[in-house]
């Protein structure tokens, strides 16, 4: 993932998927800020599309919780509240813990090596200060573990909840202290996956999500405080 979406017109092949992806990037990176109206006309010109495919893409983002559709008022970028974070993260943590346990039962040696490779690439991004590259690879690791669980119901539920919190999770990584802690947590996750220690991996993933929850809450409260002053 890159923080800035390309301004080039979108090729007609896979228009819908590409448009959804571009809009997701704009929201997660903050180019479309929480609480602001989605500028449909500007986006149509930017991506050289009509309003029909754009609005279809916005419906997908609404189902993911990234935007809110209001009759006669258009689409608005959803604000993530502290209450939502406190409600969603424990559920997401439980799902990720289950995914870790099942992954250790079902993952192949080749898939474990692939996860390690992505982890090593993520470390390079961390060491170079590339937050966008790090976040993209970080999310890829979680998806790989989730898919290795071999449970479609779990995958669908986990991805739906995760998408709702992409924006604050991205921003919460900007703290240097939290970022370095997250890297240490991921190293432990990979080691446990390689050892196929499903029970401990489940515990560690739940703890990892709890730490992320606390980081996101600190970000939300800090943002409110800065606006108040």
Model confidence pLDDT, tens digit, residues 114-173: 999 999 999 999 999 998 899 899 999 999 999 999 999 999 999 888 888 887 777 676
H or E element, residue 70: strand 67-70
Written as six digits, the tokens of 213 are 């929850």
Task: Divide the 229 residues of the chain into consecutive groups of 10 and give the mean pLDDT of each group.
Answer: 49 78 88 93 96 95 92 91 92 97 98 98 96 91 97 94 82 75 96 98 97 88 69
CB atoms < 10 A from the CB of 222, how many? 11
Q: What is the DSSP letter of 11?
A: P
Q: Using only C-alpha atoms, what is the Rg of the chain?
A: 18
Instruction: Give dist(CA 22, CA 6) in Å, integer.
Output: 8
| CA 74/CA 143 separation, integer angstroms | 32
Walk me through the domains of the chain, giving residue ranges and CATH numbers: 2-77 (1.10.10.10), 82-226 (1.20.120.530)
Whole-angstrom distance, CA of residue 155 vs CA of residue 31: 28
* φ, ψ for residue 130, nearest 5 deg: -90, 90
From CA 66, how far away is CA 77, in angstroms rounded?
6
| pTM, two decimal places | 0.81
C-alpha distance from residue 181 to each of 44, 175, 211 (Å) = 40, 10, 9
Closest CA to 135 of 94, 164, 166: 166
């Amino acid at each position: 993932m890159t923080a800035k979406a390309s301004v080039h017109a979108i090729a007609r092949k896979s228009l819908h998927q590409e448009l959804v992806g571009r809009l997701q990037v704009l929201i997660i990176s903050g180019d479309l800020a929480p609480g602001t109206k989605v500028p449909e006309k500007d986006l149509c010109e930017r991506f050289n599309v009509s309003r029909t495919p754009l609005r279809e893409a916005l419906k997908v983002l609404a189902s993911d919780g990234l935007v809110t559709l209001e009759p006669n008022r258009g689409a608005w970028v959803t604000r993530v509240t502290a209450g939502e974070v406190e409600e969603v993260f424990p559920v997401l943590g439980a799902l990720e813990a289950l995914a870790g346990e099942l992954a250790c039962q079902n993952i192949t040696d080749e898939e474990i090596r692939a996860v390690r490779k992505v982890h090593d690439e993520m470390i390079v991004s961390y060491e170079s200060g590339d937050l966008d590259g790090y976040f993209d690879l970080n999310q890829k690791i979680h998806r790989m573990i989730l898919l290795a669980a071999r449970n479609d119901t779990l995958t669908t539920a986990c991805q739906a909840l995760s998408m709702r919190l992409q924006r604050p999770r991205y921003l919460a990584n900007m703290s240097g202290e939290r970022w370095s802690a997250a890297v240490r947590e991921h190293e432990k996750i990979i080691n446990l996956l390689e050892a196929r220690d499903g029970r401990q991996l489940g515990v560690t993933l739940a703890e990892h999500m709890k730490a992320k929850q606390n980081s996101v809450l600190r970000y939300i409260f800090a943002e409110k405080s800065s606006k108040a002053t």
